[in-house]
Amino acid sequence: MSERPGNKKIKEVRALCERTSARRRTGLFVVEGERGCGEIPASDIRGIFVSESYKRSHPGVNEDFLLDDREFARLSDTQHPQGILVTAAQRSYRMSDIMGGELYLLLETIQDPGNLGTILRTAEAAGVTAVIMSRDCADIYSPKVVRATMGALFRVPFIYTEDLLEAVAALRQDGVTIYAAHLDGTPLKDVSMSPRRAFIIGNEGSGLSDRLAGAADMMIKIPMKGRAESLNAAVSAALLSYWNTI
């Protein structure tokens, strides 16, 4: 049976929407909207919040907390809330969980939430085994990233690491060839890709650090025409993930 959440509960959910520290402390995050909430495995759900208007139009929904529309608007992170919000448990993966795959993405300092979410969504579509991120990448559990993943968050393994060089070493030891996306790299058309490969993609503005670029087995670049100096990080990730597969 549902109940009315008090101000404390509403503040707790708002903190999950607004602060990385709250998400890390509780191990929870927020998913909003009918489609996003429908992607969550039942075992990950910790609380279902529904507005009165959503309940009227979806009488069969099972909610834990029922709010009037004004209360729900306070809870929501979106400008036009759909009336359903779920708190869910965060996932945790280790390097040992993702070994043996064929395709990996390593991300250094990807800070735009939309880019990170789109990369994860593309990774699922392209069959990427896992996404490995430097600790200073955007928080994958922030509401903007969660929305952009379109549910891929629940299906693509991902890891934050303090040192991507350690991840590079572990993948190489497992037989994976490491490619760094770099403006000084070999054009893709001249590269014979290894069947097991990982692509390192750098920051949207500054690209890859020298230490990571130097740790790759090969630096590669996506051909560009006109005056474009670089591609959006999510676009680069998509092109590399699909290279030689379609």
Q: Write out pLDDT tens, residues 65-75.
A: 999 999 999 88
The secondary structure of residue 114, as a DSSP letter, is H
Residues 66, 87: Cα–Cα separation, whole Å:
14
115, 142 contact by CB (below 8 A)? no
Residue 56 has pLDDT above 80, yes or no: yes
Return the minimum-mean-pLDDT range out of 35-49, 158-172, 203-217.
Answer: 203-217
115, 232 contact by CB (below 8 A)? yes
Q: Specify the amino acid at residue 125.
A: A
Candidates 3.30.1330.30, 3.30.420.40, 2.160.20.10, 3.90.1150.170; CATH matching 7-89: 3.30.1330.30
Predicted confidence band of residue 1 (pLDDT cuts 50, 70, 90): low
State the pLDDT at residue 194: 95
| Paired tokens of 35 | 């489609």
Residue 124 has pLDDT above 90, yes or no: yes
**CATH class of the domain at 95-242:** alpha beta
Return the minimum-mean-pLDDT range out of 71-75, 131-135, 159-163.
Answer: 71-75
Percent of the chain at pLDDT > 70 equals 98
Residues of the chain within CATH 3.40.1280.10 domain(s) are 95-242
State the pLDDT at residue 16: 96
| Paired tokens of 138 | 């955007």
Q: Specify the amino acid at residue 8.
A: K
Predicted confidence band of residue 231 (pLDDT cuts 50, 70, 90): confident
**This prediction's pTM:** 0.92
From the list 188, 159, 175, 169, the residue with the least C-alpha distance to 103 is 175
Residues of the chain within CATH 3.30.1330.30 domain(s) are 7-89
Sheet holding 65-67, edge to edge: 28-32, 84-89, 45-51, 65-67
